Structure 1
């Protein structure tokens, strides 16, 4: 249906609202089709959702500058390309701070001042700088911005590597709780450990190949093909991980978990992609239930796996290849100190001459 075409027969629907495949959609000017609700949910629900969507769109255009509207356009166009669930929220921060600024006015000093609002929060500063850098590159491509990218040349401190190791006893307690609480998240945790991959790769793992850049289970060759999302646009490093008996058992557990099946090995109860936020929430509830006070996260499982591999005697180069790292120095940041050394030096108080 052409959203720009006027209706020849009045149907009583609000302007730019259309019925399609049993649902009502609103099609804002120069925007995508936005689903409001199912037709059987009723017209009051449709009108309520329409008002909410209009308010949301209007909030993107508040202030005297054009930055909010441009950022909103950028997020709508690029959101599907980003795996991070909260990526679009970075745009909200930008819209609020730059509400009275035009895109063409922004320079290096504007960006420095903006990042200074998160002084001491190095990870957040780097994430926002990356968002703005991508935004202004997009603006240059759209001819909204003619100058050099204002994020160029801005240097930020490197956050210190997270120095957390999950002891075996704590890991066992968390796993036991997850087995009762959410068996699918337990499969996620086990695969993260057994393959030493990031949770992003495990949550996007497929039973069957779907494209050249996917992570998928290759039963015919007895391996899992990993193309880590962090390396796809940089080093391009990949890793084939053998399906050991223990990994195979976890895969079968995942296959038999839940009533709704999916091409995703790890999925939510609706067969859809398991978000990192919901998986982390389940993990944290399990930690709380077994009275673990340390702030472990699912990301710490990879560090545990690589540390355990190093302690088991595997060569650091083998571990680097398994982790799909380009440099050994990157791998070494994952090794955590498990044992506090005991000094063998014995001193005595010297006697006076």
Structure 2
């Protein structure tokens, strides 16, 4: 696919794919437009595009490697992850797209890391992770002889330590809409990531509790019923619209989208930090509630299991941030 000029909108879409009257459409360099899928079915769009382009060209440039990765690897990931990774691939395309895959060397990636990391160190690390996986696939596809990024140093970033106090939580809770309050409560009680909360459906419930397989790690979790959890789910399901599949949802009964909830959260934080208010709090991120859920738990093993971690070490190092109580000598 041609590199083309940079998009002004919908930058997460593959090259030559556009939105037209509620559908994803592919515009080949020569020939007629092809409708791929309805807007919202991002994975279906990628699969249809992969089938359309099944006669793969030789991988003579990194741009073509990125294209194949986007068509064959991204559809296997969660939809929110697909869009995030598609945006990162577009950033990588601009720097590496014209390069022959066999000419990519570690100093090229290190130079990208240092330049990108000056303003966005976290994004630089994430994009290098994607580039590394692209190279892994390129070796499998025969586009590279050896993986050029093995051993490449990442930018060291200390773990985030923001702890949301009970006062801050209750303050924001009081400003939120009834449905968003339920989202907050589910985040605190379960420690689930935002996307997994949005995927919870009525059918996930049983007499034993709420069962879900997390999207990031695939961990199967069963949250046993407690009075607090039952109450939150009942409160959510009482809210309109009554006929819906999802436990928490937007006004149309559909799961919150990433962009939609980002807007809701931004407005909520703006209210909570408004200097015109008599009382304000320090801004925090929704994902900080996962850290609060782990930190407020007395038993570290329970915290580990709730967050679906393979070991308690990562739970303690990244998510349990309250100071440890120690006894003085006298």
Give the TM-score normalised by the residue count of structure 1.
Answer: 0.67
**Deviation by residue 1:71-90 (Cα, 9 ceiling, x = unmatched):** 23432444333332422110
Aligned residue in 1 for 2:88: 90
Q: Specify which of 210, 213, 234 is matched with residue 224 of structure 1.
A: 210
8 Å contact 2:192–2:290 — kept in the other structure?
yes
Quick check: 1:286 aligned with 2:288?
no
Aligned residue in 2 for 1:206: 201
Shift of 1:148: 1.6
Instruction: Could you tell me which runs of 5 or more consecutive residues in structure 1 were left unpaired when the two chains were aligned.
Output: 1-21, 38-64, 209-216, 346-353
Measured at CA, do residues 201 and 158 of structure 1 come closer, stay the same or move farther in structure 2, by a change above 3 Å?
farther
How many aligned residue pairs are there?
A: 277
Aligned residue in 2 for 1:300: 288
Q: Distance in 2 between matches of 1:322 and 1:70?
A: 38
Q: Distance in 2 between matches of 1:222 and 1:36?
A: 37
Q: Distance in 1 between matches of 2:189 and 2:234?
A: 14
Measured at CA, do residues 321 and 158 of structure 1 come closer, stay the same or move farther in structure 2, by a change above 3 Å?
farther
Shift of 1:127: 0.9
Alignment of 1:69-84 (within 5 A): 69-83=64-78, 84=81
Aligned residue in 2 for 1:67: 62
Give the TM-score normalised by the residue count of structure 2.
Answer: 0.72
Aligned residue in 1 for 2:42: none
Q: Specify which of 161, 184, 189 is matched with residue 184 of structure 2.
A: 189
Larger Rg: 1
**Deviation by residue 1:24-82 (Cα, 9 ceiling, x = unmatched):** 95563899734699xxxxxxxxxxxxxxxxxxxxxxxxxxx833344234324443333
**Deviation by residue 1:171-229 (Cα, 9 ceiling, x = unmatched):** 111111113xxx33222211011112222321222322xxxxxxxx232x321123233
Shift of 1:337: 2.9
Aligned residue in 2 for 1:44: none
Alignment of 1:103-252 (within 5 A): 103-119=101-117, 121-143=120-142, 145-179=143-177, 183-208=178-203, 217-219=204-206, 221-232=207-218, 237-252=219-234
Q: Specify which of 298, 316, 322 is matched with residue 337 of structure 1.
A: 322
Measured at CA, do residues 343 and 283 of structure 1 come closer, stay the same or move farther in structure 2, by a change above 3 Å?
farther
8 Å contact 1:223–1:243 — kept in the other structure?
yes
Q: Distance in 2 between matches of 1:163 and 1:290?
A: 20
Shift of 1:241: 1.0
SS in 1 for 2:322: coil
- Superposition RMSD on alpha carbons, in Å? 3.4
SS in 2 for 1:147: coil
Quick check: 1:328 aligned with 2:328?
no
SS in 1 for 2:223: strand
8 Å contact 1:25–1:33 — kept in the other structure?
yes
Q: Distance in 2 between matches of 1:129 and 1:305?
A: 30
Structure 1 window deviating more from structure 2 (110-119 vs 260-269): it is 260-269
Q: Distance in 2 between matches of 1:130 and 1:284?
A: 28
Measured at CA, do residues 23 and 176 of structure 1 come closer, stay the same or move farther in structure 2, by a change above 3 Å?
closer
Q: Distance in 2 between matches of 1:141 and 1:96?
A: 23
8 Å contact 2:272–2:283 — kept in the other structure?
no
8 Å contact 1:280–1:298 — kept in the other structure?
no
Measured at CA, do residues 341 and 260 of structure 1 come closer, stay the same or move farther in structure 2, by a change above 3 Å?
same
Measured at CA, do residues 331 and 26 of structure 1 come closer, stay the same or move farther in structure 2, by a change above 3 Å?
closer
Measured at CA, do residues 123 and 260 of structure 1 come closer, stay the same or move farther in structure 2, by a change above 3 Å?
farther
